[in-house]
Structure 1
Amino acid sequence: MSYEPPRPVRGLLLTPEDREAPARTHRLRRLGLGERPEPALDAFAGRLAEHTGAPYAMVNFIDEERQFFAGLRTPGAGPVVLPDGTRPEVGRSMPRDHGFCPHVVVRRKALVLEDVCDYPRFAGNPVVDTYGIRSYLGAPLIDSTGMVLGTVCVADVEPRHWGKAGLETIKATAVELAVGLERLEGSAGA
């Protein structure tokens, strides 16, 4: 009889209840965020990917129904090829129960997953099978009202040791971007 490690139980993957979603959705609409790609946020995600060396970087706004990557950087050499030979395309939106950003938003603090397969709650997430994501680092975008608008995050298809430097980088990046988003609101007169 050989030992087989337990497989992730998909039932453990519960997207946390997000009681702030209606207010966040309203705030995002007021700010004009989360409806379309933003070239400045794409550039921001590109700089974050370069700084961390991660193939994926996102500025993600989360409303009641979905996640929207207003800033997105994907691998420059084309989509990742998974072990089964598929090449999944990363789009601008994703259901709320996919990925790890909804957890960051509800927790209101950074999340470091050096190898998502080490955590049964996260190993069964659809992004693991669909996109081959194996590591994640994300921090909440908290505005001056205390509202979590979404996240700034990076992901890789290989396990990664993000370390303290990675955690500090993602947290500082989130603060920097939140301040920039506040300036947008002030200049728009909203």
Structure 2
Amino acid sequence: MELQRRGERRVERFLDVAIEVFNEKGYQDARLADIVKRAGGSLSTLYRAFGDKEGLVHALMERSIRDFGKEVEDLLDSPLPPGQALEEAACHMVEEILSPARIACHRIVTAEGISQPALRDWFRAHGIQPMERLLSQYFAREARAGRLRIEDPDMAADHFYMLVFGGLIIQSVSGWVDATHLPRIQARTRSAVRLFLQGALPRS
């Protein structure tokens, strides 16, 4: 059991250091030897745990997707009215978007998506599309209950994702914002959610 726990800690340490290296150097220029040098352990241990650099990125993406997805799943269980529920969920989601791990993932799929299409497409299929499906389920449920007026839940989920998170993702991968800006970003997130729900035209 102790050996197993040490192995698990070593794997987590590799992932934590990989986040640092990918954010500093990008996917192409990051070397596994750099990660091992900082994390300790051996290159053979890293290969046994992840296979190769692409496998290491997959593990990193899976961890980020799991953390981000939990907030969307909690939204589906929320008893709060849509305005409050969406604001709270979105504020938790932007906290994950501004985490070093998520920034590393987004930098890989945006800055290096052309040269790494397999990683880019895997992240979209497993990280973005499932979140949009959960949002669509939420919008469909709230529309059926009469708490939202939405004709196309799938389109609404796409609009919500891009309005609330799209600009933030671009800013974070560009280095303009990070977790130190979280309070300001969460305030803007609440504003974006209200704009999504209320629209910009005056009510008749």
- Answer with 1 or 2: which has the greater Rg: 2
- TM-score normalised by L of structure 2: 0.30
Using structure 1 for the length normalisation, give the TM-score: 0.32
**Structure number having the greater helix percentage:** 2
Structure 1 or 2: more strand by fraction: 1
